[in-house]
Copies of this chain bind each other. A is one copy, B any other.
Amino acid sequence: MSKLDESLLTGLPPFSRLSRGEVREILDQATPRRYPEGAAVFREGTPAERFHLLLDGFIRVVRTTPEGEQVIALHIPPGQLFGIAPAMGRDTYPATAVAAAESLALGWPVRLWGDFNTRYDGFTTETFRTIGARLGEFQTRVTELATQAVERRVASALLRMANQSGRATEAGIEIGFPVTRADIAEMTGTTLHTVSRLLSAWEREGIVQSARRRITVTAPHRLVVLSGAAT
């Protein structure tokens, strides 16, 4: 296996304060892997053996209910740690992680977690920060699900994806990975039918454009209004 380049990590928050040598050490213990779209990095309920860092692509974190319904809990952008619940003292993964688009990730055995925290300055702090952000996002989602109507939730979900992963095109902001109506339904706790109706309506009004599995937000400000952020 060829050596990984150190520049992969130096810019990223969890490792930004480390020396070249330290980054080298960390990289030498990592296993890089490519995940084609749809491939699972790990599955809910399986023994939690590794934690990961996403270098490129997008990871979708999914939970399945006993009844077989799926809920998309989170999207992980490049540069973030994921699958770190094991590092928090769990012995199985609490959710499934699948590649939402072709992805590249590093993985480390979970036994290194303690080392990373004690040896590398800033790693703990930055990890707390990441988790804090994630907790915040969950809190927001709970609040949304509990208080807002479907239309607002869908608008918020689109905006979140556009912000996290959007690419500017001449038509507007295109979401950076393939999304189906069913995906959006699983993010917002509704059905693909309702999502389809909403997107059709928004397309008629010129707020979004959508091709098969690709969505472009053409009028973000109007979506913001629909999402209820305004008062």
Contact = CB atoms under 8 A, between A and B. Distances in A.
A147 interface: yes
A147 B65 CA distance: 8
Given A124-B124, A132-B85, A189-B147, A139 B139 contact: no
Contact of A89 (B132, B141, B231): B132
Interface stretch (A67-75, A161-169, A195-203): A67-75
Interface string A83-98: 0010111100011000
A64 to B, nearest CB: 9
Residue of A114, A138, A146 contacting most chain B CB atoms (<10 Å): A146
Contacts of A66: 228-229, 231
A135 B124 contact: no
Interface string A21-54: 0000000000000000000000000000000000
A88 B138 contact: no
Contact of A145 (B132, B189, B229): B189
A41 to B, nearest CB: 17
A17 to B, nearest CB: 13
B136 A139 contact: no
Given A65-B147, A88-B131, 9 more contacts: A67-B231, A71-B142, A71-B147, A73-B139, A128-B131, A131-B131, A134-B135, A145-B145, A146-B188
6 nearest CB pairs, A to B: A88-B132, A146-B189, A138-B138, A145-B145, A89-B129, A88-B128
